[in-house]
Amino acid sequence: MHCYYHNNEKAIISCENCNLNLCIECHHSEHKELCWVCGLEKREGIAIPKNGKVFKKDRQFLNMLIISTLLSAIFAFIGHIYFQIIFYNDSYLKDSSIYLITLALTLIYSIPVILLCKNKYWFVSFVILILYFLFTLLFIPLFSGFLPKEDNPGAGILIILIQGSNIISILLGLVLGHIVNLIRYLRMKFNEELNVLERDH
């Protein structure tokens, strides 16, 4: 990972405001957690042009909301696929396979959280859980055509079981992803402090 401004220098920190990777020379002197642009904006209380555009703090919040909405739709789609697989292969319910599937989905769901939910609005990602129910309902007409036409009382119980399992996987994936991001952030801060100490000595 290299500095945004100096391609030959290794980045030691990411700006907490705009997520640009920075080397030891490129963070703001007063606000070391920020790049010089965001640090100047914070000090002066004004919007600073960045790459020809006015930098907007609210854009990060909006981006996180859009990402969370898209992930919610994807996770709801996966939930319906999950139900279809179990409905036509009920042997998965007779052993520990469903627990392994839940674990696998947890790991899968944590990946986009680790990669995409790293800024200061990380908590917005929990909107996924709320929107999940909406997208699950919206996808019902799409998937209902794949089910048998005759009444099947067991299908109702099964969909509650499968959707409940998927929601648990999403929640665990969110928690796991944010724990990983927290560990990475703390390690980055430690390395930054270490580099500052080495430079001072």
Higher pLDDT, 107 or 84: 107
Interatomic CA distance for residues 162 and 186, integer angstroms: 36
- pTM given for the model: 0.68
pLDDT value for 51: 47
Structure tokens at 22: 């920075």
Higher pLDDT, 31 or 168: 168
| Band of pLDDT at residue 25, cut at 50, 70 and 90 | confident
In eight-state DSSP terms, residue 33 is: T
Cβ–Cβ under 8 Å, residues 28 and 35: yes
pLDDT digits (tens, 9 = 90+) for 59-90: 778 888 999 999 999 999 999 999 988 888 87
Structure tokens at 96: 């520990």
Question: What SS3 class is residue 52?
Answer: coil
The number of angstroms, rounded, from the C-alpha of 167 to the middle of its chain's C-alpha atoms is 15
Interatomic CA distance for residues 41 and 20, integer angstroms: 15
Structure tokens at 135: 């997208």
For 186, other C-beta atoms within 10 Å of its C-beta total 10
pLDDT value for 147: 67
pLDDT value for 62: 84
- Partners of 22 in beta bridges: 13
Structure tokens at 14: 């990411």
Interatomic CA distance for residues 68 and 70, integer angstroms: 6
Interatomic CA distance for residues 35 and 144, integer angstroms: 51
Higher pLDDT, 160 or 41: 160
pLDDT value for 16: 81
